Amino acid sequence: MSTKPKYIILLGPPASGKGTQAALLHDHLGVPHVASGDLFRYNLKNNTPLGIQAKAYMDKGELVPDDITIGMVMDRLSRPDCEDGALLDGFPRTIAQAEALGKALAEKGQEVTRVLNIVVPDEILVERVTGRRLCKTCGASYHIKFKPPKQEGICDLDGGELYQRDDDTEETVGNRLRVYWEQTSPLIDYYQEKGILVDVDGNQDIAEVTEALKEALADL
């Protein structure tokens, strides 16, 4: 693997496996996992002004406005641990966010290295969303059917209590998918035109998706 900074984007609809795969891949790539949704949830948990602003949008499954989101993610990317790159999960989600990211990286003489587009049919995503459970303390992600914890309701890693995200309901998931197709899916063409997008089949076992993603990054 080369030592050039690696800025890799995991693109995909809600519950396509971005967070699951990022947790498995970031060590392999030697870059931090930067997830805009996790940054918002951290702010929400700590009742920061940013968290309070974002909550209303998140609860409805709408995108948080670009200016708030771009500022938050750029601040994260400016920290020293992102100097060698980052594995971006959930950002960018609009053309304006993609342009802001490209511009910020260009100012440092860098660029997005690759975009991994995780493809999963919508009907599979609804079951994934409603069955997802997360650890209250470490954020590890489970699924009641596809990735159950050893003991129901308890995190395998640190014994933390598992909970369901407020936006992981059947009512909200429809809107999240609509928002994805309207506002985020144009990024597929945007990055395809730049010649850096690779489609990966996300409708297979978690370990198989990881292998496919590693293969799509093998030349970096």
Positions that interact with ligand AP5 (CB under 6 A) = 12, 14-20, 36-37, 40, 57-58, 61-64, 69, 90-91, 93, 97, 128, 131-132, 141-143, 146-147, 167, 176, 202, 205-206, 209
CB of 2 to ligand AP5, least distance (A): 27
List Cβ neighbours of 148 (8 Å cut-off, separation of 6 or more).
142
Angle of the 49-60 helix axis to the 36-45 helix axis, nearest 10: 120
Answer yes or no: are the C-beta atoms of 177 and 86 closer than 8 Å: no
176 a catalytic residue: yes
79 a catalytic residue: no
Per CB under 5 A, 19 contacts Mg ion: yes
Geometric angle at alpha carbon 16, from 184 and 27, rounded to 5°: 105
Q: Which tokens go with 54?
A: 């974002």
Nearer to ligand AP5, 43 or 113 (CB): 43
- Active-site residue, from 6, 76, 93, 133: 93
- Active-site residue, from 114, 147, 165, 214: 165
18 a catalytic residue: yes
CB of 179 to ligand AP5, least distance (A): 7
What sections of the chain are H helices per DSSP?
Answer: 18-29, 36-45, 49-60, 66-77, 95-107, 122-130, 170-179, 186-193, 206-217
Per CB under 5 A, 12 contacts Mg ion: no
Residues that bind Mg ion (CB under 5 A): 19
